[in-house]
A and B are shown apart, each in its own frame.
Chain A
Amino acid sequence: MYAYLILIPFFSVIILNLPFRTTMKKAAFWACLVLLLAQMCLVVFSAIFPGCSFFDIFKTLFKLDFTADNLSRVLLFSIALILCVTLLVQKSILGDKERIFNFVNMLLIILVGMNGIVMVRDIFSLYVFLEITAVSSFILIGFNQDLDAFEAAFKYIILSVIATALMLSSIAIILLLAGDTSFSAIASTVRLSPHRLLISLAVGIFLCACFIKAGLMPFHGWLPDVYSAAPTSVSVLLAGIATKTVGVYTLIRIVNSVFVLDRSLQHLLLALGAVSMIAGALAALGQRDLKRMLAYSSISQVGYIVLGLGAATPLGLAGAIFHVFNHAVFKSLLFVDSAAVELETGTVQMDKLSGLAKRMPVTGFTSVLASLSCAGIPPLAGFWSKLIIVIALWASGHYAYAMLAVLASLLTLAYLLTMQRKIFFGKLGQDMAEIEEAGPVLMLPALILAVITVGVGLLFPFVSILLKGNLLGG
């Protein structure tokens, strides 16, 4: 069934670019939106009715081997949700049909790439889908064709190529030792092979590549420039889900299903996670550009996810996965709000903005909600995932890391409240009296994401049952 999540977007791209292109241009936006909503419904449907084989009727036509466990399902749902938001943001910013059509094509290709990443069980196929996502991200970053965007795209592709080269070298060593590239074959080789040095080398190289792709400190060089220079809709996509799928999901999958999470690797993850969490938050405190601040905030939040993974317990893993979802929601919401601010005021320099909540109440309100969720304030969704990570660290005896996680939460609150005070509160700037709330197409995704942030937080008892029954079981 899951092969359709690759095949349908792929064939949609082909159909959209066949004859009747003019008609297709009109339909492209709606086709993409329906496809993304269908993916969300399909993922929920398959989670509720896991045994249903209704969609397997065309199985004989294609021999594509894709599977999805519960971790994959969380990612598949998040991918579709954030891509929906990205599409709506782009639509509100860009009215030109031709440009929207090109954007939809790229969005469908990146959908194929990210869906593939979360559904393959072969390390070489994983690499192929990582490449699809990287190349399409590169094009999307440069989509506005201005000098800053091209520079950011160039930085991204160079760092991505380095990560790719590292990954390919690791795959080559693994293939040499295991003779196969499937996750199961590699997992048994990693456990049983007498060539410990080569195995450690391959694992180390692969993890470095994952750290670069996830933007973890000190591998984060590309991330602030890319998030701040890319079109805001693309920043939503990259910060919300793309880097999380490419870097963080790959890291979680590989560490849990393929490599052995031994004590040295655990300490490495904990140390890097802590450095990323604290240094990212401190760097965010000093930023004046809103998008750049959100970029550093992303680095800090990825630190939390890696800390949860480093706890090496089922609870820590559940917290990490839950935080991936929550981060996708609240960070995308913050970027959607920054898109609204940029669209209406023409700037994201925080020193030039003040009192916008009076003129943009919905943007101001949703931004406060997202900030509080990001800082881990109860009862919003972000609070629960951070709490689970802190409890997992404490229960596994990593008291110092648990306390650092709480401290980083205070730093997060500090930089996000500073941002709120500068942009939305205080006296309205003289040149901002004419500013109005952004249009409904931009407000809709902001409201949907805000409802998810509040809803998941308030309904956490049900979510926790889902986490316990599905994520940990899966």
Chain B
Amino acid sequence: MSVNIAILLSLLAASLWTVLTRSLLRSAIGLALTSAILTILMIRLDSSLAAVFELSVCTGLISVLFISTISLTHPLTRKEILAHMRERRARFWFLPFLLIALGVILSLLKIKPPIDLPAPEAVKEARNVLWSLRQVDVMGQIIVLLTGVFGVVILFKERVKK
């Protein structure tokens, strides 16, 4: 349990770094790192199939898509980044306090769902899950990725051409 909590904390740290880092490229790397940590957590929770998907799609494919998109954008100057960060700090200074307050309140309430969590399922055959049980969803995920690629081409590549 304590290992899982430690992984959760590192997941939180990676997510915060992803959101707060100055460079878009570092942000994309942070996202890949977050996904990789999530994969470890999923493996520890006996969801190996979901873990494989998280690793291949989020850490792999999506990162490639992000980095190729970032290569088509015009980076901000250091001055602009600093101004943007100052503005963000002024607007959202209360968020960390709110998060801590929420955490304290939730831990004091000691909420426990009134249900017994199901035992982790035995690993099903991947082919059966993907091709028979969730064929529609797999196809849907492929289309979402395809849409992302089209989005990059239409919104970024053409703009660079212009």
Contacts and interface: CB of A to CB of B under 8 A. Distances in A.
B123 to A, nearest CB: 17
A120 B137 CA distance: 10
A106 B137 contact: no
A138 B151 contact: yes
A176 interface: yes
Contacts of B148: 135
Given A125-B136, A125-B137, A136-B147, A145 B131 contact: no
B140 A116 contact: yes
Interface in A98-131: 102, 105-106, 109, 112-113, 116, 120, 122, 124-125, 128-129, 131
A125 B140 contact: yes
A131 B151 contact: no
A9 B134 CA distance: 20
B133 to A, nearest CB: 10
A263 interface: no
A455 interface: no
Contacts of B162: 145
A196 to B, nearest CB: 10
A124 B159 contact: no
Interface in B127-151: 131-132, 134-137, 139-141, 143-144, 146-148, 150-151
A124 B114 contact: no
Given A64-B135, A106-B154, A128-B141, A139 B115 contact: no
Contacts of A66: 136
Given A109-B150, A138-B151, A198-B115, A124 B158 contact: no
B159 to A, nearest CB: 5
A122 B146 contact: no
Contacts of A387: none
A113 B141 CA distance: 11
A122 B143 CA distance: 18
B118 interface: yes
Interface residues of B, number: 27
A129 B162 CA distance: 32
Contacts of A410: none
A115 to B, nearest CB: 11
B151 A139 contact: yes
B143 A109 contact: yes
Contacts of B159: 145
B43 interface: no
A125 B155 CA distance: 27
A139 B146 CA distance: 12
Nearest to B142: A10
A131 B139 CA distance: 13
A132 B151 contact: no
Contacts of B118: 176, 179
A138 B151 CA distance: 9
Contact of A102 (B114, B140, B153): B153
B144 A135 contact: yes
B6 to A, nearest CB: 23
B113 interface: yes
Contacts of A65: 136
B137 A145 contact: no
B136 A128 contact: yes
B131 A143 contact: no
Contacts of A120: 136
20 contacts: A6-B139, A10-B143, A13-B146, A63-B131, A64-B136, A64-B139, A102-B153, A106-B147, A109-B147, A120-B136, A131-B144, A135-B144, A136-B147, A138-B151, A142-B155, A143-B154, A145-B155, A176-B115, A195-B115, A198-B113
Interface of A: 6, 10, 13, 62-66, 102, 105-106, 109, 112-113, 116, 120, 122, 124-125, 128-129, 131-132, 135-136, 138-139, 142-143, 145, 176-177, 179, 195, 197-198
List the 3 closest A-B pairs by CB distance, nearest first.
Answer: A128-B140, A139-B151, A135-B147
Given A128-B144, A135-B144, A197-B114, 6 more contacts: A102-B150, A132-B147, A143-B155, A145-B155, A145-B158, A177-B115
